[in-house]
Amino acid sequence: MFRLVCLFLCAACLGFNAHALTTEQAARIADGDSEDRIAALNEVVTAVDPALEPLLEALLADEVKVAGGKAYIVRGDTVTEAATGATATLPADAEDVVNNNRVRREFEAALAALKLFSPNAAVRAKAIDDLRDGADVGKLVVIEKAIAAERVEGLKARLELLRAAVMISSDDIAKRLSAAQLLADSEQPATRSLLIEKLASETDAEVKAAISASLSKVQSRLAWGERLGVMFSGISLGSILLLVALGLAITYGLMGVINMAHGELMMIGAYATYLVQNLFKAWLPDAFDWYMLAAIPASFLAAALVGAVLERTVIRWLYGRPLETLLATWGISLILMQLVRTIFGAQNVGVENPSWLSGGLQVLPNLTLPYNRIAIVVFAMLVLAGVALLISRTRLGLFVRGVTQNRRMAACVGVNTARVDTYAFSLGAGIAGLAGCALSQVGNVGPDLGQGYIVDSFLVVVLGGVGQLAGTVYAGLGLGVLNKLLEGWQGAVLAKIMVLGFIVVFIQKRPQGIFALKGRSAE
């Protein structure tokens, strides 16, 4: 409360004249050509008049009418005079106020300038961010008053940088020089853009040198955010590749089935997520934010069920004949794609993010980590841990390893090999469904969803080492990061070619992949 009183006393000492807005000024701001309205606004906003804020909010909401040299705020059945706030009767000849884009931008900047004096520090911080792109010399007086009234050191430093960003457009060479030197401490991408723009138009040699020096410092500071952004993008892509390849590591790595329908099993998981979303929209709209909790098991079960049907009807007859499994599953993939087109249509369908997966975490001014990407990284790690525990610590995992290493011996000791084959293939298919569920949160869901990942997933499994989960992890994350690093250097197409070339050379030198099977497992 004491700080609030101090803030208002400071603002009052600096000319915060309550209800100084006159009827004539309100009318000039609301009516006339754009230049006159902006000039009238700049005259009033420098007084930091609290009566101006509701007028600007009403203008931006298209709730202002003018008649007889007066401006009226009309909200529903309530009519008040814009200048005084007194209840009024709307004249019959009142006309709507029309605001073009330029005037709206000026109103938004002026409103943000007024909010620099809010008693709420969060509101003041947001106002500084809003003013960063819209402030001009006309707002300089308000910014200086806000600096004098601000008591939070962090916000005061940001206001001083904002003032420098405005002063760098001044006609005074000394002010431009001072502003250029101050902007060297900025961490904002907008400052870099501003300095680049001013460097191109500056005529004074000394100011130009100061701008160049500040630009170098700002770029150096922002480079860390860009590097971390590339690393996170690589980890995010690697997690997606890992999630996609995990199921294939079982069906191909452990069972030797070249499953070209793996991408379509992912697609089934994505469409299962879409159906669960629609069910929640129709029947449980209040719980929509939690539909993913139902979509995850639904996508797993849907893909696993299709996988079980495929294994029992087609794949079981082709074990030990990998090229025939390739041809058979390729045909199955075409059938599944056409089936989905027949049921859902050829167009992509929309899968919405829950509110808790929307937005992002701002780590640095130029680095925001999307929540949906963070969730996929965490989800991939959880699925990986679950698969590793299942394969190494459970009875089913023991049977799967036994059957894939020596089918005849496993059958001799009483293992039902046919049933284990079905379980293993269903598990790989179900993991593919989980990958489809995750991908639905970051991309389009359509019949061709799996086609963009099937080749990459095979590359991950082969590079990591057939039958090796650890190799799949290293290969997935490594290829993701490498791909993003090369994209920033050579572009997406050349990056893809270079990654493929790297894998070809690597497999030539080390055919067994990063990790090779040892002992009896290698026989």
Over residues 57-102, the pLDDT tens digits come to 889 988 999 998 899 999 988 899 988 888 988 888 889 898 998 8
331 contacts 420 by C-beta, under 8 angstroms = no
How do residues 448-506 score in pLDDT, each as one tens digit? 998 888 888 888 988 887 667 788 888 998 888 888 888 888 887 888 888 888 888 88
Query: What domain count does the chain have?
Result: 2
Residue 18 confidence (pLDDT) above 60: no
Q: What's the pLDDT score for residue 309?
A: 95
352 and 426 in a single domain? The answer is: yes
Assess if residue 8 is contained within a domain.
Answer: yes
252 and 330 in a single domain? The answer is: yes
- State the residue range of the domain holding 132: 2-167
359 and 239 in a single domain? The answer is: yes
Long-range contacts made by residues 492-495, C-beta under 8 angstroms, separation at least 24?
none
Task: List, in sequence order, every beta strand (DSSP E) within 323-365.
Answer: 360-364
Cα-trace Rg, the chain = 32
Distances from the Cα of 233 to the Cα of 219, 351, 488, angstroms: 20, 22, 11
Q: What is the CATH number of the domain that holds 440?
A: 1.10.3470
Assess if residue 364 is contained within a domain.
Answer: yes
162 and 255 in a single domain? The answer is: no
Assess if residue 208 is contained within a domain.
Answer: no
Going by pLDDT thresholds of 50, 70 and 90, the confidence category of residue 140 is confident
Decide which of 122, 152, 167 is a domain's last residue. Answer: 167
Is the backbone of residue 351 left (phi > 0), alpha (psi -120 to 50) or beta?
Answer: beta
Report the pLDDT averaged over residues 251-258.
80
Residue 2 confidence (pLDDT) above 50: no
Least confident range of 23-32, 104-113, 129-138, 160-169:
129-138
pTM above 0.85?
no
Residue 165 confidence (pLDDT) above 80: yes
Residue with tokens 């893809």: 496
308 and 448 in a single domain? The answer is: yes
The number of CA neighbours under 13 Å toward the Cβ of 220 is: 8
Assess if residue 96 is contained within a domain.
Answer: yes
How do residues 107-121 score in pLDDT, each as one tens digit? 888 888 888 888 898
How do residues 185-236 score in pLDDT, each as one tens digit? 888 888 888 899 888 988 899 999 999 999 999 999 899 888 899 899 899 9
Residue 518 confidence (pLDDT) above 80: no
d(CA 298, CA 292): 9
* CB-CB neighbours of 382 under 10 Å: 11
507 vs 211, higher pLDDT: 211
Q: What's the pLDDT score for residue 20?
A: 63
Q: What's the pLDDT score for residue 17?
A: 43
500 and 377 in a single domain? The answer is: yes
Assess if residue 176 is contained within a domain.
Answer: no
Assess if residue 368 is contained within a domain.
Answer: yes
Q: Which structure tokens are listed for 22?
A: 């006159």
392 and 270 in a single domain? The answer is: yes
141 and 233 in a single domain? The answer is: no
To the nearest 10 degrees (0 to 180), the angle between helices 371-393 and 395-405 is 70
276 and 403 in a single domain? The answer is: yes
**Closest Cα partner for 30 from 88, 79, 77, 72?**
72
**Closest Cα partner for 25 from 11, 9, 41?**
41
146 contacts 117 by C-beta, under 8 angstroms = yes
Mean pLDDT of the chain: 86
Decide which of 140, 167, 194 is a domain's last residue. Answer: 167
Q: What's the pLDDT score for residue 149?
A: 87
438 and 364 in a single domain? The answer is: yes
* CB-CB neighbours of 326 under 10 Å: 15
**Closest Cα partner for 483 from 502, 467, 465?**
502
298 and 425 in a single domain? The answer is: yes
Q: How far apart are the first and last CA of the chain?
A: 78
116 and 234 in a single domain? The answer is: no
Q: What's the pLDDT score for residue 523?
A: 46
Residues 157-181 as b or e (16 or more Cβ within 10 Å = b): ebbbbbbbbbbbbeeeeebbbbbbe
Assess if residue 220 is contained within a domain.
Answer: no
**Closest Cα partner for 11 from 115, 101, 146?**
146
Decide which of 147, 167, 187 is a domain's last residue. Answer: 167
219 vs 407, higher pLDDT: 219
347 contacts 281 by C-beta, under 8 angstroms = no
Assess if residue 214 is contained within a domain.
Answer: no
